[in-house]
Structure 1
Amino acid sequence: MILPKLVLCAAFVTPALAQCTYSFLQNITASYLAAQTSGQPAAFSSATYTENFRAVSIASGVISRPLKIDHNRSLHDTTQCATYTEVVVANGANHYVIGTQIRLTGTAITQVDSIVTTRGDWLFNATGTLYYASREDWFTIPEAERDTRAVIQAGGDAYLDLFNNPRVVVPWGTPCARLEGGAYTGRGLPSDSCNVGVPSGVALVNRRYVIDETVGSVDVFLAFGGPNGRPDSHEFRLEKGKLRFVHTLTDMA
């Protein structure tokens, strides 16, 4: 994992990398995973760092703890120059499922925001999350078949808007599986649905998006229940305009 870190450091001084390319962002997520594995986040020390929407010293945050990562998957948003990475730690004394959005200005990492869930958080079960998430196929969608950014974001927003407006039309796909904490709606059947009910009268606000058209996905950080609501991540994959997978993380502390 040394090479990505070296590439990242070079990115701050190499004019050729001024354009935010997919490969450049892949180096960013590789460096983030290396930092989390080693517990040495020096490459991110100049960024503003938050955990569960609270400012935290990067030297004392979860990112500074060496963790054995059992599963990870990332989104790379070249339009906003941002990334999202899902991390599952299901072995050892402490289990975590972490979602991290990283944002850049030019080639400089300026913001690192993590939603860190562990025992006691909503439906938390890292072993279950690992089992189901590692079996899903978030394959790269052929370019001619990709949905636009607008379609991908609209699909995620429709699902989120449903919590506060039952009349919203959601582009449900079949099959579709929802992973909420460690709870999973998928049974491996063609009829699997994500339309299995959500709470009503709940505002999901302050949304921050990372969109990756290559995998038809958007991750949304939001406040669940209003401006002072719980830190939450909802990640969606769409295929041909229809929801295929939904992953959620909610901090309950």
Structure 2
Amino acid sequence: MIRATIMSVLLCAIASVQALAAECTRQTLQSVTDSYVDALRKGSPSLMLLAPQAKYIENRKEVRFGEGIWKAPLAVNFFRTLIDTDICETFTEIIHAGSSHPYVIGTRLKIEDGRIAEVESLVSDEDDWLFDADNYLKYSSTEKWDVLPPDKRTDRRTLIKVASDYFDIFEDYSAFERVPWGIPCVRIEGGAYTNVSNAPDPSCTVGVPKGGGVPMTNRRYIVDVDMGAVVGQVDFGGPKGLPDAHTFRLENGKLRYVHVITLCPNGCPKIPPPEDMPEQ
């Protein structure tokens, strides 16, 4: 009797895991994310595949669907999605440019049972760090973030470590040596670009701060192993710091692209640009 009960429990557990795996395929998560982008374009949250108790968080504050960025339809010029089948979450970079109120948005979706349980968006605009939606669109839309061949991919644990080491630089510059810098590599930071001269061998080390003493806390990661990408959402400057998302792409184990969205809810700090940062 006991043996039969144990077997029954094990079979139920296996079935649950298999069901979760089926719901968290790339195809399913991409389809659910596409429903979010379509709803955003039409300004209609009801078009999303929402779970009954779904939450919306905009710039770290929970608000109702229909408020904030959802008040009106939003033309989406470009978007790109990272898909994490391990934790059933996605992260989408969305660019709305060419209007009187442009945005660059980073959205995390938490998906349960094939439906969106949580939408968390960082909505950046002209009041935020180095913001330039036109530049962001110009450069991001020409980059190649395709699914990598298996021999060029980096495993999940290493992708998270690279992002973590990069964040560590802001507090302790000695972490610089741990980051697998690649060439070519370019960074888009709010809209500022590290290779405006279109050099053939750019490096993402340009403009990396050397002062230290700035902690990057509350780190949360979404990892797309197939794409060689990881996004880290952090508090820039410690608890209650600036809401921030850094997205990294690695090819052959080396950094290829870095994208940065940083919000300045109380005004951006007056920091002179690094001497090696190119003039925009």
Is TM more than 0.5 here?
Answer: yes
* Equivalenced residues, count: 239
Structure 2 match to 1:240: 252
Cα deviation, residue 110, structure 1: 1.7
Cα deviation, residue 152, structure 1: 1.2
Asked if 1 retains the 8 angstrom alpha-carbon contact of 2:88 and 2:112, the reply is yes
Structure 2 match to 1:222: 234
SS state at 1:79 partner: coil
Cα deviation, residue 16, structure 1: 9.3
Structure 2 match to 1:192: 202
Cα deviation, residue 159, structure 1: 0.8
Distance 2:62 2:241 in 1: 16
Cα deviation, residue 90, structure 1: 0.4
- Determine which of 185, 188, 191 is the counterpart of 1:179: 188
Distance 2:22 2:182 in 1: 38
- The 5 A counterparts of 1:66-85 are 66-85=73-92
Structure 1 match to 2:44: 40
- The 5 A counterparts of 1:1-253 are 18-42=22-46, 43=48, 44=50, 46-168=53-175, 169-186=178-195, 187-196=197-206, 197-198=208-209, 200-253=212-265
AA aligned opposite 1:208: R
Structure 2 match to 1:6: none
- Deviations 1:142-199, CA, capped at 9 Å, x for gaps: 1232110111111111111110111112111111101001100024333211112225
Indicate how the Cα distance of structure 1 residues 72 and 223 shifts in structure 2: closer, same or farther if over 3 A, else same.
same
SS state at 2:233 partner: strand
Give the superposed CA RMSD. Answer: 1.7
Cα deviation, residue 18, structure 1: 4.7
Cα deviation, residue 139, structure 1: 2.0
Question: TM-score if structure 2 supplies the norm length?
Answer: 0.81
AA aligned opposite 2:237: G
SS state at 1:173 partner: coil
Distance 2:92 2:72 in 1: 17
Distance 1:16 1:177 in 2: 37
> After the TM superposition, which parts of structure 1 deviate over 4 Å for at least 4 consecutive aligned residues?
15-18
AA aligned opposite 2:205: N
| Percentage of pairs with the same residue | 41
- Deviations 1:25-71, CA, capped at 9 Å, x for gaps: 01011101101100001233731111111111112121342111111
5+ residue gaps, structure 1, are 1-14
Distance 1:16 1:76 in 2: 15
Indicate how the Cα distance of structure 1 residues 173 and 146 shifts in structure 2: closer, same or farther if over 3 A, else same.
same
Asked if 1 retains the 8 angstrom alpha-carbon contact of 2:32 and 2:114, the reply is no
Distance 2:199 2:98 in 1: 30
Distance 1:20 1:71 in 2: 24
Distance 1:29 1:147 in 2: 24
5+ residue gaps, structure 2, are 1-18, 266-280
Distance 1:175 1:17 in 2: 36
Asked if 2 retains the 8 angstrom alpha-carbon contact of 1:236 and 1:246, the reply is yes
Asked if 1 retains the 8 angstrom alpha-carbon contact of 2:91 and 2:107, the reply is yes
SS state at 1:156 partner: helix
Question: TM-score if structure 1 supplies the norm length?
Answer: 0.90
Indicate how the Cα distance of structure 1 residues 188 and 228 shifts in structure 2: closer, same or farther if over 3 A, else same.
same
